[in-house]
Amino acid sequence: MQESGLRSSMHRWVDMRPSIVARGIIEMWKRRQQIEHMRPQIQEAVSHLVEGRPILFPGQGVYVLLIDGNNQEAIEALRSEKGRRQDQREATVVPPSRLFTMVDFDRLNELNPQINRGTIQRLYRAHPVGLIVPCLEEKTPPDLITYHEVNGETIPTIMNIWLARYRLYKIFWEELSRYPDALSSGSSANRTGFPSPTRFNDAYRFRANFVASSIAVKDPHEALHFYQGSHDVLSLITNPPEVARESSVSSIKHPAEFQKFRDILPNLVISKG
């Protein structure tokens, strides 16, 4: 009797498997279609970024930058941030508590009355791409500032905050690969392996095949730039600062990157700080 019941339950389990698999495939297809619908939005964001136009409206700017991986205080601030999960599907870059001290909300409101602190807070938690906003120079680390001309005036800006979901990464890289000359790789970007995305320091070291297919470094003097600080970063920006710190490149972890760094060293202003 017991054997019959076990056989019956096993039979039901076997019968269920095809439907479970089918439902899983359908759900996966639906999710991919939903993300694919965002391609036009990402295309627009990438074109704005590559052209260097000031982006002051939600979802039109794209920039990827982690806080300093060697700064324990910053890491703890990120981990303690409420309302955001830190898992393999998404990685927070600058916590809101830090970002909002850097944003110049008065200037932002002058340029675009539709955006205020509450808008950015909502976007921060919901939007998959990001934005570029004016910043306060005295409260923003110099290596996070980019300058844009708006209405004939050059203003400091801080660029994006987050990017979520691996499928979006793929679309993002597909679009960026159309502009290989506009891409710059940060000193700690790892383009040789597939690190665990759940580790904080690796959260934005994208899958190597996406990165390798998107960055064509023909002349390292023109296409490869390094940034002040020890950020784990793959930065996408057309006017990177010509400042680097030698200690931000590891000869052991990233020998190829380190050699390229040494190659262009004479052409950079090195900060030992």
- DSSP summary character for residue 204: T
Whether residue 152 sits in one domain with residue 50: yes
Rg of the Cα atoms in the chain = 22
Whether residue 231 sits in one domain with residue 194: yes
- DSSP summary character for residue 181: G
Residue with structure tokens 């409101």?
Answer: 109
The pLDDT confidence band at residue 121, using thresholds 50, 70 and 90, is low
Whether residue 47 sits in one domain with residue 82: yes
- Return the pLDDT at 153: 76
- Return the pLDDT at 135: 82
Whether residue 129 sits in one domain with residue 188: no
Whether residue 133 sits in one domain with residue 70: yes
- Return the pLDDT at 229: 24
Whether residue 143 sits in one domain with residue 64: yes
Q: Which domain holds residue 59?
A: 39-163
Which of the listed residues 129, 163, 197 is the one where a domain comes to its end? 163
- Return the pLDDT at 148: 66
The pLDDT confidence band at residue 144, using thresholds 50, 70 and 90, is low
The pLDDT confidence band at residue 170, using thresholds 50, 70 and 90, is low
Structurally, the chain folds into a number of domains equal to: 2
Q: Is residue 134 part of a domain?
A: yes
Write out pLDDT tens, residues 235-268.
Answer: 332 223 333 333 344 445 445 544 554 454 333 3
Whether 156 has a pLDDT exceeding 60, the answer reads yes
Q: Which two tokens stand for residue 235?
A: 């930065």
| pTM exceeds 0.75 for this model | no
Whether 139 has a pLDDT exceeding 80, the answer reads yes
Secondary element (H or E) of residue 46? helix 39-51
Write out pLDDT tens, residues 24-80.
Answer: 667 667 666 666 766 776 676 566 555 544 333 333 223 333 233 344 454 444 344
HSE at residue 257, side-chain half, CA atoms within 13 A, is 25
| Number of Cβ atoms within 10 Å of the Cβ of 56 | 21
Q: Given phi > 0 = left and psi -120 to 50 = alpha, else beta, which region is 160?
A: left
Q: Is residue 47 part of a domain?
A: yes
Whether residue 159 sits in one domain with residue 184: no
Share of the chain above pLDDT 70, in %: 11
Whether residue 152 sits in one domain with residue 81: yes
> CA 214, CA 13: separation in Å to the nearest integer?
45
Residues 120-138: what's their mean pLDDT?
61
Higher pLDDT, 7 or 204: 7
**What are the distances in angstroms from CA 71 to CA 67, 125, 190, 232?**
8, 24, 19, 11
Look at the alpha carbons of 54, 58, 60, 65 in this order and tell me if their dihedral is positive or negative. Answer: positive
